[in-house]
């Protein structure tokens, strides 16, 4: 059988920046099993590969890294929605509805921007894990917290964010649930905050742009800055922009996306 598969750069409008994801659309969930999905994700060797197939009034959406299935992924959801509209699978005025491991997620198109409706993932203060400061090479923590997915660290200034050079072997030995969000207030008038995200369990341990991390970043900076409409910049090598608007127990994430590759998967 053959399947079309797309590579999309998410949270950017420029090719070869933002966060790349593969999107594969299946007509029926019984066509391929989880083992096949995992093997294809390994073959694509991107941060995430998203699989879509029709379910109820929308689509079942599953996310796989080259190693495992994920609970929540922002950039691959953005990429999936982008492909549904770009390929005219959905009319551009129709809401995309995704049934996922993290519940129902929706996406809407607003001109060149896609709005994702995600669950908020607020953080609670916690003790600094042993050796975390050593592993990150950054001792100036202003705040340390965690949620069900990640540890969350605020540092004093933007310069510290750019200078972080983690010891990923040590981070991996600390056995975090998923990863580490590190953030600071932005010194640029263009953005409210900046961040980086590290997942020491992956072969590529720094994620270029992490939509799901902004489900924690949004509520945190909303309280800190007393501001509901926020713009974040993820300061990875590729870089990307995420607009954030916390609403009750949800977070609206806004991003752009661009298709860079379309091919046929022979399997």
The answer on 132 and 220 residing in a single domain is: yes
The answer on 147 and 128 residing in a single domain is: yes
The answer on 227 and 189 residing in a single domain is: yes
The answer on 62 and 133 residing in a single domain is: no
Beta strands at 103-110 and 113-119: parallel, antiparallel or unpaired? antiparallel
The answer on 100 and 137 residing in a single domain is: no
Nearest of 233, 262, 266 to residue 22 by alpha carbon: 262
- Domain hosting 36: range is 2-117+254-266
d(CA 121, CA 143): 16
User: Of the listed 4, 34, 48, 55, which one is catalytic?
Assistant: 48
The answer on 262 and 208 residing in a single domain is: no
What element of type H or E holds 264? strand 257-266
Domain of residue 260, CATH code: 3.10.310.10
**For 236-264, what is each residue's pLDDT tens digit?**
999 999 999 999 999 999 999 999 999 99
The domain tally of the chain equals 2
pTM of the model: 0.94
Q: Rounded to the nearest 5°, which phi and psi values hold at 256? A: -110, 165
**For 121-158, what is each residue's pLDDT tens digit?**
999 999 988 899 999 988 789 999 999 999 999 999 99
The answer on 103 and 130 residing in a single domain is: no
The answer on 157 and 83 residing in a single domain is: no
Nearest of 75, 76, 11, 8 to residue 37 by alpha carbon: 76
Active site annotation includes 48: yes
Question: Can you list the positions of beta strands (E) in 93-178?
Answer: 96-100, 103-110, 113-119, 124-125, 141-146, 150-155
The answer on 113 and 23 residing in a single domain is: yes
Name the H helices within the chain.
34-44, 74-86, 132-136, 158-163, 168-173, 214-225
């Amino acid at each position: 059988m053959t399947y079309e598969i797309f590579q999309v750069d998410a949270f950017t409008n420029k090719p070869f920046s933002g966060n790349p994801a593969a999107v594969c659309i299946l007509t029926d969930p019984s066509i391929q099993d989880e083992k096949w999905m995992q093997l294809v994700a390994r073959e694509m060797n991107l941060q995430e590969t998203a699989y879509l197939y029709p379910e109820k009034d929308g689509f079942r959406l599953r996310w796989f890294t080259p190693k495992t299935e994920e609970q929540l992924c922002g950039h691959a959801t953005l990429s999936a929605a982008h492909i549904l509209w770009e390929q005219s699978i959905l009319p551009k005025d129709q809401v995309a509805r995704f049934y996922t491991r993290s519940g129902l997620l929706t996406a809407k198109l607003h001109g060149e921007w896609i709005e994702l409706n995600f669950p908020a993932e607020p953080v609670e203060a916690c003790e600094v894990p042993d050796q975390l400061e050593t592993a990150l090479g950054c001792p100036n923590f202003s705040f340390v917290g965690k949620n069900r997915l990640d540890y969350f660290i605020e540092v004093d200034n933007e310069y510290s964010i750019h200078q972080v050079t983690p010891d990923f072997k040590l981070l991996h030995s600390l056995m975090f649930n998923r990863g580490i969000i590190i953030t600071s207030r932005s010194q640029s008038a263009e953005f409210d905050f900046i961040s980086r995200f590290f997942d020491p369990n992956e072969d590529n341990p720094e994620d270029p742009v992490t939509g799901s991390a902004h489900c924690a970043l949004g509520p945190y900076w909303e309280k800190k800055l007393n501001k509901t409409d926020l713009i974040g910049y993820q300061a990875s090598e590729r870089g990307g922009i995420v607009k954030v608007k916390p609403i009750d127990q949800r977070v609206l994430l806004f991003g752009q996306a661009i298709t860079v590759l379309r091919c046929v998967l022979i399997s």
